[in-house]
Structure 1
């Protein structure tokens, strides 16, 4: 009986299944019939035609460039209601900064990413272009002036071009930020993008990043140069908004015939994406890739996920994980195991998700969709594959993978252009901190395209040319520091020569070792030998109507004369009575000159000496007695009217043979002559560069030290650019006045340093351990350049087969060879 019941139930079940299949069959037949009717209507011109007709479109080269319109102000419309702006930014020192500074920059960049909400899309674009030497050559042009030095200018131009080409193979690196938003019309998008632009520039400024927004013609030039690496963009911007500008920038051909390659004009290109597998990444990962010296375009698309949606998504994943853990626990119980024994990866994922949820809810973290793509291009396929292999090696070393975009080359190409368009669906979810690891900053460049910029070598990290104009600094005062043989004198001479060739500045040198005479003669300068035997004379009482601040020249001159007389009386200082007597005498000895300012009326020391003797007070006669050796005695070298040409563009004061008794006074007198020169040049709106070798000697004595500090404090207002040169850094740093010198110095060229000096300088100038490597046992011409807030490691391998090198070198073997 029971058997019959089972059979009956099976029959009923089979019957129901058959009925279900018959129903499905009827539905299928009905659908087929309807499809046939639709096909019939389609042939007869049915209104349903558009629903089934496959669109046939002829694709052109322009269609691969994914934008619709470029506006003159730089806003670009890429279609589907999406508009964007492009901001170009310059690099800052990150890799070489102190650890606490790197942490600050990292947190600031993470905060910068957090400032974007889900309505704004962000793209970071990195463009490395080889062969754009011509544009950089235009920035280093030194025009001829029709004087005796045009031949040297030609040599210097060729040297700069040679340094440019061999230094980085003409590699031009640029970095951009593209911000996109969606709007129904251009009028609605414009104020939104302007607000975003202000926020981005403000955030970058807080990180001390210089940035500017590109206008339409500049964006077109960038796109043109990326699409046509060998061509020059010559569009002037006329009618920009009224034409399809894609025709102006497109290459001759696009070919997407291979799954792994595309062709763009004469270049073979390969598009790839980065697969991030590592749980942790180094903040040097991106910089390692960007540092490769080859043509490549890198794009980093970042889109913020709404915070509420991100938290919900993580909670869902947490719930799914908990379900999986419960299932694993059930399996364990059924198998007779302890329910706490579950796969270790579930435990790890569970902890990761909990930490992630905590980060999102209470640690100011955001979630982003990130797509990281790269385009390599070359005329040679083998070279292209070598570069890709190099990048792949960097990825493997960082536990990531470089994957080719097979059959997606065109989509990858559209995504790589700095247009805010992402056609690649491969996205990775990352938090703010994880995204900030792709630090877009490496090392700061120093290339000022001003026509008065001077050459300082090549950036040791990027190999880019260093060109800068000290006069653009808030305080152009400078120091050149280095051990013997490190190249400090050569660096000073190179800057002097460059300034003479490029600028109209006057150059004055204090030369304690007689090292600069050859260079000065090369440029038709005046070498003034100051010694007891010399017939070249400087009058310490020289004055001009613009001396000092110009309002009271005699008042400023009195300060110098008193400083000089303090040295005369042994450096013990003048009493109040002595100062009063001197102050009484000075107007009298200058009276004739101020009434009739001719050279014959300029007073000399013997005039002051005689007048002091005539004073009623004994202090006057005492001062005269102490001055006697400098007036009528054996040290009377400064008791003469000046008989040298102080109007030359280049003047060198050679004090090598000036005895120890006169050296301090001599250096003080020279500084006063510099004041005279700067005062007269100020009226002519001409800068005066003043170089002081063995600068530490001036800071040893109170009088010369105080006078030097005055120069460092006041020269800038008058167009003066002083530079101290020394190898005795310990003596320099031991001066009581060094703080004032450093506080008023924005330019420091630092070469190899002794270990004791390095420690002091590192503390005083906040030099990181990474930066210290560049001044530790470094070769001649290598070191660090401090230019305002910019710190650049440099190397200067000046060609030895040039006229300038032969005139500048101080190496004994080369000087001897030159004189043979």
Structure 2
């Protein structure tokens, strides 16, 4: 007859295996059945389900912030109402497939040679990292239910609260941990990948295919061969071992799990937890208290028998009784949960010698944390089932932990950026994993690149541009270049460089407009935008704000100029002037000679040949015939008929190239403000045109503080910054110092810009700029700013939405990419 066990003792009992005797590889699995919802059916009416947890930024924050997260994690653990385990898994994947996934894909065009160069940089940076390994955090819940239907309902009822609790781990705007349930295909694939390590199998598990073909999931999962001995096992020719933590320190450190998961091999570090019934636990503590009391009385009696009536029991027993007494009071007064916890470590190696080396490294790591690791002697099979994501506990070596103590075994380390189809931003300095990010996935795509002189800001910016160019062949990249810095790169990439210099005869007509597909409602929008531009332009010429009456005159002139041009262009293409919803105004129906094209012109050619010019606006003001309109025309005259008529020409440059740089270094001071306004108007027109073609536009503005220093240009930039997202556009400002941006005049504009910015690349910063950045970006932990405090060139912080990672984007000086981006003779390399 089996002995009656207390509630506490029941939590220490091993789970029974499905097969008590192992006669084949199929017999090692203790899963009875699988369910389409992702649930595993286990012995003794248990059911388990696994979730993937996203990592959070724990390693790179201050001690106070870490304490806050530990307290929050403790509350999460208290809220889990069932048996659970969490695992840090370094999953093995085929290295060839791994590289195919992260490297830039060739596209069969002349730029494939550059993609090869970039891929070489990525390979070199990952040579010391976890090649072919992905580190993932899994949570497995195990419940007892009357059947699969009951289990599904139970999981649904508890998932929501647990998911919300994990999201709540974030603080100060930092992202918490997201919790995603694994589908049956995903969960089975993870186990299949493990059991077929070393075989190079690319099989993809499909529940529906398995059902249709009548396949047994156990046969699919089973490895080719496995052999267990007392200390280790051999699976498919790969050596493995499972160990457990035996002795725990009196003081726990929060990086124990991450330290043991750093070893560069396929591994699982799993924390199995059985929630203790508090009444049963109190009974167990009371039993121990009584046992210690009896020992004390026994010692006292022995002393009395030896005629030593004054001697007390040993100090060791008295201290133990005092601790138990204190603990019993805490149990009654504190609202905490307690667990029987077993921590297991699984690792694989190609050879027995390598397995021994890894074991020695793990033991050394554990000893530094005052832990002792021991082999799961003669129970490697049971320990293997317990360490994987089954929700099984066939092996137990428990320690009693409160939720606050268990929270110190923190599975989180650092956030990762690994966006599919993202571009390369170096490696994460905390995890040594590659960083791939895509601005298009952000809610607001705009960004800032900041770094003091010599920080590698220019090389970083050029590298990002080249990566975009190589990875997004449909996108256009536009660059505002105030110091002739990007020309060599653009020329090397077969792009177009437009110099705003009257000597070079590069002309841009700011009045260009494309009427293709534009109805009368669209015309009104174009007129409004062009009127806004001309008002800003004339205001900059007058060096004052325009009066209401002046604004009315300009608005009327622009309306006439573009309405007439719209009418002419419609007839030019033989189109009906009547739109779907609107009648063309009467003044647009004046008698005009019939027009016909002498030859078939493309849309681009028509825009260049027939768009209005500043001359038309100037003449329209003269035609108004008032003193006020004549005064406005006189202000424009030098830019129309005078020596500064650079922009009163039809466009003669190619704006259709995928890479276009606007070089404004050669501008005269008296043309600078006007040129900036006209350049921004041209850029807005190009971005709008690309949007109509469903094409993304990336606009980079170097020396960004220069544009903000001119009030009229700053207002233009601010408006574009807010509206560009709707036009599939992304603006990135590049500048050296926050102090350049934060003068009294710019403060309000900068606040509006930063509130619409989710991307920041922060390279080395001075102490002054670092303090200002900490003020403007409070959701980045102060500890993370250590990575920009006089940082090495090419390193810093990358913030993408709520995720912030420290990056290292240094590259070999011998690479082709470095030679391209390092055109100024400086830059960073290793």
> Which TM-score tier does this pair reach, normalised by the shorter chain?
0.7 to 0.9
> More displaced, 471-480 or 287-296?
287-296
1:74 aligned to 2:38?
yes
1:217 aligned to 2:189?
no
**Is the partner of 1:776 in helix, strand or coil?**
coil
Distance 1:198 1:139, change over 3 A: farther
**Match for 1:174 among 117, 131, 136?**
136
Q: Summarize deviations over 1:647-689 as a string: whole Å, max 9, x none.
A: 2222110111112332232222221111101111111111111
Report the Cα distance in structure 2 between the residues aligned to 1:477 and 1:550, rounded to whole angstroms: 28
> More displaced, 741-750 or 617-626?
617-626
1:775 is matched with which residue? Answer: 788
**Match for 2:632 among 609, 616, 623?**
623
Report the Cα distance in structure 2 between the residues aligned to 1:761 and 1:210, rounded to whole angstroms: 28
Shift of 1:460: 1.1
Report the Cα distance in structure 2 between the residues aligned to 1:494 and 1:781, rounded to whole angstroms: 11
Contact 1:180-1:193 at 8 Å conserved across structures: no
Correspondence list, 1:113-512, <5 A: 113-117=77-81, 120-129=82-91, 132-140=94-102, 142-207=104-169, 208-230=176-198, 231-237=200-206, 238-240=208-210, 242-257=214-229, 259-321=230-292, 335=308, 337=310, 343=315, 346-347=318-319, 350-351=322-323, 353-355=325-327, 357-358=329-330, 360-449=331-420, 451=421, 453-503=422-472, 504-512=474-482
Report the Cα distance in structure 1 between the residues aligned to 2:189 and 2:637, rounded to whole angstroms: 74
Q: Tell me the C-alpha RMSD between the 2 structures.
A: 2.8
Report the Cα distance in structure 2 between the residues aligned to 1:478 and 1:644, rounded to whole angstroms: 28
**Is the partner of 2:708 in helix, strand or coil?**
coil
Contact 1:164-1:170 at 8 Å conserved across structures: no
2:654 is matched with which residue? Answer: 645
**Is the partner of 1:671 in helix, strand or coil?**
helix
Contact 2:243-2:344 at 8 Å conserved across structures: yes
Shift of 1:74: 1.5
Report the Cα distance in structure 2 between the residues aligned to 1:540 and 1:519, rounded to whole angstroms: 26
2:53 is matched with which residue? Answer: 89
Contact 1:122-1:301 at 8 Å conserved across structures: yes
Shift of 1:162: 4.5
> More displaced, 422-431 or 321-330?
321-330
Distance 1:127 1:347, change over 3 A: same
> More displaced, 240-249 or 738-747?
240-249
1:786 aligned to 2:799?
yes
Contact 1:746-1:788 at 8 Å conserved across structures: yes
1:519 is matched with which residue? Answer: 489
Distance 1:317 1:556, change over 3 A: farther
1:28 is matched with which residue? Answer: none
> More displaced, 58-67 or 773-782?
58-67
Report the Cα distance in structure 1 between the residues aligned to 2:480 and 2:302, rounded to whole angstroms: 89
Unpaired runs of 5+ residues, structure 1, are 1-54
Distance 1:756 1:639, change over 3 A: same
In the comparison of the two structures, how many residue pairs are matched? 754
Distance 1:210 1:742, change over 3 A: same
Report the Cα distance in structure 2 between the residues aligned to 1:761 and 1:432, rounded to whole angstroms: 37
Report the Cα distance in structure 2 between the residues aligned to 1:788 and 1:549, rounded to whole angstroms: 34
2:692 is matched with which residue? Answer: 683
Shift of 1:345: 7.0
Shift of 1:355: 4.9
1:13 is matched with which residue? Answer: none
1:668 is matched with which residue? Answer: 677
Q: Summarize deviations over 1:442-477 as a string: whole Å, max 9, x none.
A: 00111122x3x2111111111111112110110010
**Is the partner of 2:764 in helix, strand or coil?**
coil
Report the Cα distance in structure 2 between the residues aligned to 1:92 and 1:56, rounded to whole angstroms: 41
| Larger RCO, structures 1/2 (Cα 8 Å, 6+ apart) | 2
Report the Cα distance in structure 1 between the residues aligned to 2:462 and 2:300, rounded to whole angstroms: 79
Distance 1:159 1:356, change over 3 A: farther
**Is the partner of 1:698 in helix, strand or coil?**
helix
Contact 2:61-2:781 at 8 Å conserved across structures: yes
Contact 1:315-1:357 at 8 Å conserved across structures: no
2:767 is matched with which residue? Answer: 755
Report the Cα distance in structure 1 between the residues aligned to 2:337 and 2:522, rounded to whole angstroms: 58
Shift of 1:282: 1.1
2:531 is matched with which residue? Answer: 558
Distance 1:250 1:799, change over 3 A: farther
Report the Cα distance in structure 1 between the residues aligned to 2:101 and 2:672, rounded to whole angstroms: 43
Report the Cα distance in structure 1 between the residues aligned to 2:282 and 2:675, rounded to whole angstroms: 76
2:513 is matched with which residue? Answer: 543
1:531 aligned to 2:498?
no
Distance 1:765 1:329, change over 3 A: farther
**Match for 1:60 among 2, 8, 24?**
24
Contact 2:456-2:827 at 8 Å conserved across structures: no
Correspondence list, 1:801-816, <5 A: 801-812=814-825
Contact 2:50-2:187 at 8 Å conserved across structures: yes
Q: Summarize deviations over 1:17-39 as a string: whole Å, max 9, x none.
A: xxxxxxxxxxxxxxxxxxxxxxx
Report the Cα distance in structure 2 between the residues aligned to 1:728 and 1:637, rounded to whole angstroms: 32
TM-score, with length taken from structure 2:
0.85
Rg larger in 1 or in 2?
1
Report the Cα distance in structure 1 between the residues aligned to 2:399 and 2:505, rounded to whole angstroms: 80
Contact 1:92-1:442 at 8 Å conserved across structures: yes
Shift of 1:439: 0.9
Q: Summarize deviations over 1:408-456 as a string: whole Å, max 9, x none.
A: 222222211211111223111100000011111100111122x3x2111
Report the Cα distance in structure 2 between the residues aligned to 1:796 and 1:423, rounded to whole angstroms: 46
1:725 aligned to 2:734?
yes
Report the Cα distance in structure 1 between the residues aligned to 2:532 and 2:71, rounded to whole angstroms: 52
> More displaced, 710-719 or 199-208?
199-208
Shift of 1:793: 0.9
Contact 1:679-1:718 at 8 Å conserved across structures: yes
Report the Cα distance in structure 2 between the residues aligned to 1:814 and 1:99, rounded to whole angstroms: 35
Report the Cα distance in structure 1 between the residues aligned to 2:689 and 2:20, rounded to whole angstroms: 79
Q: Summarize deviations over 1:66-87 as a string: whole Å, max 9, x none.
A: 2222223311122222211111
Report the Cα distance in structure 2 between the residues aligned to 1:144 and 1:684, rounded to whole angstroms: 25
1:15 is matched with which residue? Answer: none
Shift of 1:274: 0.8
Contact 1:125-1:298 at 8 Å conserved across structures: yes
Unpaired runs of 5+ residues, structure 2, are 1-18, 170-175, 570-605
Q: Summarize deviations over 1:711-754 as a string: whole Å, max 9, x none.
A: 22111111011100111321123322111111101111111111
Report the Cα distance in structure 2 between the residues aligned to 1:312 and 1:660, rounded to whole angstroms: 87
**Is the partner of 2:485 in helix, strand or coil?**
coil
Contact 2:530-2:558 at 8 Å conserved across structures: no
2:667 is matched with which residue? Answer: 658
Contact 2:458-2:827 at 8 Å conserved across structures: no
Shift of 1:809: 1.6
Contact 1:132-1:172 at 8 Å conserved across structures: no
Shift of 1:281: 0.6
Report the Cα distance in structure 1 between the residues aligned to 2:130 and 2:697, rounded to whole angstroms: 34
Q: Summarize deviations over 1:780-811 as a string: whole Å, max 9, x none.
A: 22111101100111111334434333222234
Report the Cα distance in structure 2 between the residues aligned to 1:741 and 1:549, rounded to whole angstroms: 28
Report the Cα distance in structure 2 between the residues aligned to 1:722 and 1:57, rounded to whole angstroms: 65
